[in-house]
Structure 1
């Protein structure tokens, strides 16, 4: 049996937290910008920490599991 829960969580979080796709924190001209399709080094660093925190929350604390046969 393969556990696809962490893979699914990682893919969804990667898409949602890609800097500049849905939102960018911190933005280039404002603190929070939506759908600007641009990024910066600070934004990549902040989004990486948010991704790691949410991924750890979903996989370790909440224990999301999707099993296949």
Structure 2
């Protein structure tokens, strides 16, 4: 049996937290920009920290597992 929980959660969070795709904090011209498709170093660093924090909480604290097979 394979545990697909960490993989699925990682992919979903990666798509949702990609800077510039849905939203970007901090933006190039404003604090929050939506769908700008442009990014900067600050936004990449902040979104990386958000990804790590949310991923850790979901996988380690909530013990989310999805088994197949």
Q: TM above 0.5, one fold? A: yes
Cross-structure match for 1:49: 49
Report the TM-score, using the length of structure 2 for normalisation. 0.98
- 2:15 and 2:64 mapped to 1: Cα distance? 18
**RMSD of aligned C-alpha atoms?**
0.4
- 1:63 and 1:7 mapped to 2: Cα distance? 13
Report the TM-score, using the length of structure 1 for normalisation. 0.98
- Asked if residue 16 in structure 1 is aligned to residue 16 in structure 2, the reply is yes
Pairwise CA distance, 1:48:
0.1
Q: 4+ residue runs of structure 1 moved beyond 3 angstroms?
A: none
5+ unaligned residues in a row in structure 1: which ranges?
none
Alignment coverage as a number of residue pairs: 69
5+ unaligned residues in a row in structure 2: which ranges?
none
Pairwise CA distance, 1:63:
1.0
Pairwise CA distance, 1:28:
0.4
The alignment partner of 1:46 has SS state of helix
